[in-house]
Each structure stands twice: as structure tokens, then as C-alpha cells.
Amino acid sequence: MNNHPADYQKAIEFHGHCCPGLTIGYLAAKAALAQLKVERAADEELVAIVESDGCGIDAIQVLLGCTIGKGNLIYKDYGKQAYTIGNRSTGEAVRIVVMAGSMVPLTAEQEAIKSAVFSGQATPEQEECWRRLQSERTGRLLAAPAEDLFRIQKVELKLPSEAKIFNSVICEYCGEKVMESRARLQNGKIACLACTEEYSRGW
């Protein structure tokens, strides 16, 4: 596990550690690049729509050049390991979804170790066992053909417009700058969303 490809190592460094979730995002990104026959986006040439906020999204950012800051990473909170990548130049898009059963489920003993690790109450032996297990799971993912891990489909995608730069206004409640498109009027004063009182009638 020490001889990682350079792009995978970059993803690990960006994410902070190596894990199966990051690896799935890495492999999905590689599959998208191959399917669309493109390279990493220097600017906004590619758009990624991701359907969870899991570890794999960091690999999508590193390998595809799709980021929140550039406006070409769109997050939808669907709780799915699914990635739709579109190419602005050609209009082509591909959706890559992790298939059920693509990962070997943890045993009851492994689940107990995982719970101990994530609760911060694992023994040094349990922590080492978990590291070893994660390394093994990651190795299996890296060795698997993409078609064994993902359902890959060409899809029609209405690509969002490129990111816009908005003028700023000053919130008259907190004094901080806020983009015009996110400002509100409250009692006749400009208010940012953080200073806006919520109002709801149940819908």
C-alpha cells in the first residue's frame, strides 16, 4: 500500500488519510475521466454533481478539479455514493453509482471494532486491527475492475451556468458584507441570512 499512484497519493494528502470511502471517490473520478475522455479541469470545464458529503468527494475535487470555490461542484444531500460528471465542451455526462454488494460487509466482530474506534474508546490493539482492515478493504477496491464496483451510465444533463460574481451589500444588523443575491429586507433594512428572522406557517 506504499506504492500509490501519484494522483491517488495527492487525494490521500488532501483528505488526510487513506480509507475505502476516499478510494471509491478516486476510482469513480478515474472512471469518469476515462468515460468522457478528458483530463482534470483547469477551470470550470467539468461539473461534478455529488449526492453525499462522504470521503470520496475529496478525491473528486483533487482528480477532477471540481470544487465549491470554482462553482463546478454541486452537492445534493441524497445520501448516495453517486457522482454525475458533465463536460461543458461536449455536453456529455456520465453518472457513476456504487453498486450494492460491491464491498464485502463487515463481520459482527469488525463492526464492534469500528464502533470502538469511532467512539474513541478503542484499545491500541483494536486501532491497529482497524487500520489493517481498512488497508485490506482499500487494497481490494483498488484491484477491482470498475464494472464490479459501479454502475456507469451516459446521461443527459442540463449543465448549470458557470459561477457568477455578485456585488456585495452591507447587512445593517451585523455590519458584514453579503452577496446581493443572498440578502433580504427585514423591517426595511438589509439583512444577511444569519440575521434574518425565520418565518413559517408550517410549509
Residue pLDDT, tens place only, 151-185: 999 999 888 777 788 899 999 999 999 999 999 99
**What would the pLDDT profile of 74-107 be if each residue is shown by its tens digit?**
999 999 999 999 999 999 999 999 998 888 888 9
Q: Residue 81 has which C-alpha cell?
A: 455514493
CA atoms lying within 13 Å on the CB side of residue 27? 25
Please report which confidence band the pLDDT of residue 1 belongs to, taking 50, 70 and 90 as the band edges: very low
- Can you give the pTM of this predicted structure? 0.82
How far the first Cα of the chain sits from its last, in Å, is 51
2, pLDDT greater than 70 = no
